[in-house]
Amino acid sequence: MNLDPQPVMPRRRDWRLGILGSGFIVNDCHLVAYRKAGFNPVAIASRSRVNSERVAARHSIARVADSYAQLLDDPTIEVLDIAVPPNAQLGLIKAACARRTVKGILAQKPLGMDYAEAVEAVRQCEAAGITLAVNQNMRYDPTVRAARQLLDAGALGSPVLASIDMRGIPHWMPWQSKLGWVTLRIMSIHHLDCFRYWFAAQGEPSRIFASVRTDPRTRFPHADGIAAYILEWDSGLRCVALDDTWTGPAKEGCPADIRIQWRIEGLDGLAMGDLGWCQDPYTTPSTMRWARKGDVGFHEPRWQESWFPDAFAGTMAQLLVALESGAEPAISGRDNLHTMALVEAAYRSVASRRAVELSEIVHSTS
């Protein structure tokens, strides 16, 4: 079976992109991937002009704006790439919608501080006629996309069980120390969205049960350092994830076992992958192997791309393709509300120590 995980690219590569933010994710991921894909970032702004100038020099961005507002006031910007902390994102989306000059916005995940903010972001963009997409970039890891192709082709048969096992130490951002939460909204959100992406043919999951504890290494106050959760579909499908941000004393003198592995079991086949994100270097390509009943051994396709930074070209590309075609983005703001609802339900599950139906979140905030 021929698997092709490469994202569909827009006809135009010269859409004028305005970048809001100048942190690690912009400097080492977004802009690296955009330049590799031939995209056209023309202006950047952040809270620190010094940081913006440094990033602009590295990535050959012609204009550095003095402020977010100054960049938003530029009517020549066609698409905004917003990569700021979640507590600042909705304000920038509202400001862009008030101006009604850009055609599209690629927003960072999470799409706001909670589900209610995500709903408001979607409402604002729809009212302003601006196409909103969300940077759920794990969907564009090559092995994640290849797994979806296997599922869509029926190569694995009806899905039975899937899992994501993360033994990785994320790079928490300074702003996270002010919010009181880390893993579910920042890391687990990728895995929750990935399960939704893989099993879209099954519909949305019905409920989630989540359990968390603090991470011994993270010094600032937080609730959700290590997270485990189960997603249930009424069809019988179960998805299980363990997001272990401790991994043992890997930074305290113990030999490390750092990895992110996924597994999908169907009635007719099995697929497994290893994401390169948390490997050293972080650009290590992801790998996978799969087989179905009757195969002598595993198929092991290989690609050069990795999750970080290559997947970030895909998230921008799907927005630009949508702008050209007039269709919804592959990861639209409205689609992402389901992912945000899962995150919200996970926090409610932790607080109430029970499985939480997704309908509880949607009904309580609609």
User: What is the reported pLDDT for 175?
Assistant: 87
Please state whether the predicted TM-score (pTM) of the whole model is above 0.85: yes
pLDDT greater than 60 at residue 232: yes
- What backbone phi and psi angles, to 5 degrees, belong to 223? -100, -40
Percent of the chain with pLDDT over 90: 92
> Which of 56-65, 86-95, 280-289 comes out lowest in average pLDDT?
280-289
pLDDT greater than 70 at residue 354: yes
Residue 43 and residue 19 in contact, taking contact as beta carbons nearer than 8 Å: yes
| pLDDT band of 61, cuts 50, 70, 90 | very high
| pLDDT band of 170, cuts 50, 70, 90 | confident
User: What is the reported pLDDT for 204?
Assistant: 97
| pLDDT band of 281, cuts 50, 70, 90 | confident
| Residue 6 CA from chain centroid, whole number | 17
Tell me the one-letter amino acid at 333: G
Q: Which residues contact 363 (CB under 8 A, 6 or more apart)?
A: none
- Give the single-character DSSP code of 174: G
Q: What angle do CA 94, 173, 83 make, to 5 degrees?
A: 30
* C-alpha distance from residue 362 to each of 15, 119, 172, 251, 338 (Å): 35, 10, 29, 40, 9
- What backbone phi and psi angles, to 5 degrees, belong to 26? -75, -50
Q: Summarize the confidence of residues 46-71 as an average pLDDT.
A: 97
pLDDT greater than 90 at residue 172: no
Cβ count near 110 (within 10 Å): 23
Average pLDDT in the chain:
96
Strand ranges in the chain using DSSP code E only, listed in sequence order: 16-20, 40-45, 63-64, 79-82, 104-107, 131-134, 159-167, 207-213, 226-232, 238-244, 259-266, 269-275, 287-292, 356-357
* C-alpha distance from residue 254 to each of 165, 167, 226, 313 (Å): 20, 14, 19, 36
Percent of the chain with pLDDT over 70: 99
> Which of 51-60, 129-138, 163-172, 279-288 comes out lowest in average pLDDT?
279-288
User: What is the reported pLDDT for 183?
Assistant: 96
User: What is the reported pLDDT for 149?
Assistant: 98
Per-residue pLDDT tens for 292-343? Answer: 999 999 999 999 999 999 999 999 999 999 999 999 999 999 999 999 999 9
Per-residue pLDDT tens for 107-148? Answer: 999 999 999 999 999 999 999 999 999 999 999 999 999 999
| pLDDT band of 164, cuts 50, 70, 90 | very high
User: What is the reported pLDDT for 160?
Assistant: 98
Calpha distance 63→51 (Å, rounded)? 13
- What backbone phi and psi angles, to 5 degrees, belong to 230? -125, 130
Residue 132 and residue 332 in contact, taking contact as beta carbons nearer than 8 Å: yes
Q: Which residues contact 31 (CB under 8 A, 6 or more apart)?
A: 19, 41, 55, 58, 59, 61
User: What is the reported pLDDT for 280?
Assistant: 75
pLDDT greater than 60 at residue 45: yes
Residue 129 and residue 158 in contact, taking contact as beta carbons nearer than 8 Å: no
Q: Tokens for 20?
A: 């809001």
- Which residues in 306-325 are b (16+ Cβ under 10 Å) and which e? bbbbbbbbbbbbbbbbbbee
pLDDT greater than 90 at residue 260: yes
pLDDT greater than 70 at residue 190: yes
User: What is the reported pLDDT for 364?
Assistant: 63
Q: Which residue has the tokens 């400097």?
A: 27
Dihedral through CA 61, CA 65, CA 68, CA 69, nearest 10?
-130
pLDDT greater than 70 at residue 365: no
List of domains in the chain: 16-137+312-331 (3.40.50.720), 142-306+341-350 (3.30.360.10)
Per-residue pLDDT tens for 88-103? Answer: 999 999 999 999 999 9
